[in-house]
Structure 1
Amino acid sequence: MAEQSEALELLTGATAGEILGAAIEAAGGELIEWRSTEVSHHGETATVAYRAKVSGPGGVFDEVLGATAGGLLPDGVTVVGAGPGALAGGRPAGPGALAGGGPAGPGAPAEVGVWSAANDPRLPGLRVALDPVAVSSLFARCGLGDHPVSVKLRAYRPLRRAVVEAVGPLGRLFLKVVPTDQGQALHDRHRLLTGAGVPAPRSLGWTVDGLVVLEALGGRALRSALRSGPVGTDPAELTRMLDRLPTALLEAPRRTSWLERTSYYARSVGHVVPELASWSTGLSAAIVAEGIIGPTVPVHGDFYEAQVHVDRSGAIVGLLDVDTAGPGDRLDDLACLVGHLSVLAQVLPPHANAIDGLAEHCLSTFDRQVDPRQLRLRIASVVLSLATGPHRVQDAGWQQATRERVALAERWYDAAHRVHRSTALPLRERNHHESNA
């Protein structure tokens, strides 16, 4: 874990600005300010996304950057002074990525790769998705007219995936960008699900560089609806939608259960907040010892309130991010939803009543479909997996937020022991206890 700590510190600590500045300078610009927005680490490798303000030949502009350290650099990323990337006219130009080198020092990663989002070395389709002229051509081929369009990067995980919203006079599309070997499979999965009656976005096509063109869903995300007050979404409708997932998904690679990943997430907690290591690993050991994985069925794989779209009445009209759909345990989907809702109530205290109300309704419905004790244990696993979320997005006060999420996971574990006596605390009361802890 030492190498991982050094890579993370290099990309999020004081030296990160020096590295980004050197990369921008090598490309002919000047870094004015920056902040990290997305942090991930796997093995010895850390990868970070940044929002930056950059001065270039065309003036001052906002830029999204990515960087990686601690492992082999992707193809097309080299050290400062050797990369073909450039900033021209205030926007990225040229086929290559920006490049940076880490400072020499004991234990420091040998190299750091830095690039602008449009030049992500593993997401070549992002260059097209961020080019309004190229996207206008896509709109024309989709029957949305040959008009100017605007594009906006909505989500970006460096080297892994991105989502771009594109809007023209006659409509709106979402362009999902994945590594080149995943584009056709994602398109086929959307077609499979919509053909089975699952309200996923319809795929209009894909390109060889990993860009998938998706229709926009109607309604709004359930998470957004909860900000306006209680919603009328029926949990039974949620499970009926999961029941429509086609059995053909069982041919895909099996989804690893949240239960099987519990120990990994506990170690991640201890890595970002070392004083929580003993607590999180002890809790994970108890959850794993008591948890049971159920039968394999088609699952969504990342089923929570931001993935579900509802209309004004709360009826379900859409399901997002089906990339993860495949064989798995139904407990994982149900626990993922309730676990996310319980964390969301922590994050949005003014809306906690509406959020907790839906969570309680879901819990009472799901309890009639699966083992209530196993459901709460799995919810504890999900919440523990979310404990490093504040660090991942670099929220202010992320250390305390991490501690609060571990405490919430422990309360779900305790609730699993009480459920057979029907004495588990309601979510509202749990949140009240936490706020007074």
Structure 2
Amino acid sequence: MATPALDLLLGPEGPNVLGAAVAEYGARLEELRPAEVNVDPSGAAIVMYVGEVCRADGTRTTEFLGATTGSRIPAGAAVVAGEYGGEPVEVGIWAWPRDPALPALPTASDPVLMAELFREFGLSDAEALDVRPRSYLPSRHAVLEVSDGRFQWFTKVVQPSAVADLRHRHDIACRDVPVPPVLAATPEGVIVMPGAKGAPLRTLIVDGDAALPSPEALESVLDALPAGLLALDREPSHLPMVDYYAGVLRCVAADEPTVLTRLAEVVEGLHAVEAHTEEVVPVHGDFHEAQLFADDGRVTAVLDIDAAGPGERSDEWATMLAHLSALALETTGRGRETADGYAAAILAHAERRVPAIQLRARSAAALLGLATGPFRLRHPRWPERTIAVLDRAMTWLARAK
């Protein structure tokens, strides 16, 4: 590993460090599995674990645990300090739902407290709600599915400082695009939205049987993004992010020379691409199949508009094409055929709308950004999977010439 802290968190000593987090609550850590790892080029990391925890009364539960290093340690985390590999190391730790960066998470994950909050919102009169975690990025955000038996909602828990901005984005976009409206929010970080209609587009692609939205249908969603998004801060394009993406991969693959060799080839190819700016338009910022719901060929919901704002249309198509390329590597049979076929149809459409060479180069850059995915999700053969993603990026680069 590139840093002692990351080596510590993912190595055999990790359970000893994380055991301190659950011991604070009178419990004992029985098993620990790193489930997701996010790393900066500096080596600072956020690790989400799934742990088997034994409570004082003898009951066993499966729980999320979080650990952070370096600049990622949030205020309020319990910090374990010591030496590892001859260097000083500090690790911030906590057990779900007591994420110090997400103070609303304990309330949002409690069926009774959430029911009380929903009664205040006027959304439900239930005494308790069914609350199920769907995704969690420690210290960043959590998404929970909430139901009272009749209706379903999704609750997003964010840092308090992010509430006003995220609500503003939804208020702007939901008038013109099927972005879920914000039904209620608290200053502490709870944001409630209705459940999405249809099924995740990613699921439809993997299943390989359902009608998918046409490229024209996807473009109509992009065209409908409102001009009000242009007043928001702009996120960087894929090509200027190449060195950042590469820095992350060099950090996690420091002991994998084959990965580093292939990475160098991709970076060299991307640096040789001459970037051209395009017209600035409203963009989603992370437009891909996992962010869309669909039904009978129609886009029924557009999720996660945290990065929406001004940008270039090529990046929207490139993000979609890169994700479909990566999805094809993850699936087999009908799902792979569907992903590749869908990507080919979108590419043919998009190349008539934006400069083809730029589109292909940006798709390669976006794939580079996805190349840490196998490590991030702790795939047992992550070096081989990473090389496969980098090979796809090289294919896109070859098409850009």
TM-score using structure 2 length: 0.93
Q: Which amino acid is 2:280 matched to? A: T
Q: Which amino acid is 2:99 matched to? A: D
Residue 19 of structure 1 contacts residue 101 of structure 1 at CA under 8 Å; is this kept in 2?
no
CA deviations 1:315-359 (Å, max 9, x no partner) are 111100011101111111101001100110110022111111111
Q: 2:76 — aligned with what? A: 76
Q: Which amino acid is 1:64 matched to? A: F
Q: Match for 2:277 among 279, 290, 293? A: 293
Q: 1:83 — aligned with what? A: none
Which range moves more in the overlay, 41-50 or 364-373?
A: 41-50
Q: 2:318 — aligned with what? A: 335
Q: 1:37 — aligned with what? A: 35
1:353 partnered with 2:333: no
Instruction: Note the C-alpha offset of 1:282.
Output: 3.7
Please give the alpha-carbon distance, in whole angstroms, between the structure 2 residues aligned to 1:397 and 1:279. 16
Q: Which amino acid is 2:357 matched to? A: R
Q: 1:57 — aligned with what? A: 56
Q: 2:227 — aligned with what? A: 247
Q: Which amino acid is 1:34 matched to? A: L
1:47–1:102 distance in 2 versus 1, CA, 3 Å: farther
Please give the alpha-carbon distance, in whole angstroms, between the structure 2 residues aligned to 1:244 and 1:51. 40
> Which one has more relative contact order, counting CA pairs under 8 Å at least 6 apart?
2
Q: 1:425 — aligned with what? A: none
Instruction: Note the C-alpha offset of 1:104.
Output: 5.2
Q: Which amino acid is 2:237 matched to? A: S
CA RMSD of aligned residues (A): 1.7
1:382–1:253 distance in 2 versus 1, CA, 3 Å: same
CA deviations 1:216-237 (Å, max 9, x no partner) are 1100110011122153311111
Q: Match for 2:188 among 188, 202, 209? A: 209
Residue 212 of structure 2 contacts residue 294 of structure 2 at CA under 8 Å; is this kept in 1?
no
Instruction: Note the C-alpha offset of 1:38.
Output: 1.3
Find the residue that maps to 1:324 and give its secondary structure: coil
Residue 131 of structure 2 contacts residue 147 of structure 2 at CA under 8 Å; is this kept in 1?
yes
Q: Which amino acid is 1:32 matched to? A: E
1:384 partnered with 2:383: no
CA deviations 1:99-152 (Å, max 9, x no partner) are x4445551141x211101211111111111101112112333243332421111
CA deviations 1:72-122 (Å, max 9, x no partner) are 73222234xxxxxxxxxxxxxxxxxxxx4445551141x211101211111
Q: Which amino acid is 1:67 matched to? A: A
Please give the alpha-carbon distance, in whole angstroms, between the structure 1 residues aligned to 2:71 and 2:292. 36
1:138 partnered with 2:117: yes
Residue 222 of structure 1 contacts residue 310 of structure 1 at CA under 8 Å; is this kept in 2?
yes
Please give the alpha-carbon distance, in whole angstroms, between the structure 2 residues aligned to 1:293 and 1:330. 10
Please give the alpha-carbon distance, in whole angstroms, between the structure 1 residues aligned to 2:75 and 2:217. 46
Please give the alpha-carbon distance, in whole angstroms, between the structure 2 residues aligned to 1:405 and 1:102. 37
Aligned runs of 1:16-415 on 2, under 5 Å?
16-42=14-40, 43-58=42-57, 59-71=59-71, 73-79=73-79, 100-103=80-83, 106-109=86-89, 111-140=90-119, 141-195=121-175, 197-230=176-209, 231-274=211-254, 275=257, 276-290=259-273, 291-311=275-295, 313-350=296-333, 351-415=335-399
Which range moves more in the overlay, 175-184 or 37-46?
A: 37-46
Aligned runs of 1:6-25 on 2, under 5 Å?
6-25=4-23
Please give the alpha-carbon distance, in whole angstroms, between the structure 2 residues aligned to 1:115 and 1:241. 40
| Aligned length, in residue pairs | 392
CA deviations 1:225-281 (Å, max 9, x no partner) are 112215331111101111111111111111100111112212322222231324323
Q: Which amino acid is 1:366 matched to? A: A
Please give the alpha-carbon distance, in whole angstroms, between the structure 1 residues aligned to 2:358 and 2:73. 42
Segments of structure 1 that go 5 or more residues without pairing to the other structure are: 80-99, 418-437
Q: Which amino acid is 1:138 matched to? A: L
Q: Which runs of 4+ in 1 moved over 3 A?
A: 100-105
Find the residue that maps to 1:61 and give its secondary structure: strand
Find the residue that maps to 1:363 and give its secondary structure: helix
Q: Which amino acid is 1:25 matched to? A: A
CA deviations 1:193-217 (Å, max 9, x no partner) are 112x200111112111111111111
Residue 206 of structure 1 contacts residue 213 of structure 1 at CA under 8 Å; is this kept in 2?
yes
CA deviations 1:372-416 (Å, max 9, x no partner) are 111111110111111110101111111110111111100110111
Residue 43 of structure 2 contacts residue 251 of structure 2 at CA under 8 Å; is this kept in 1?
no
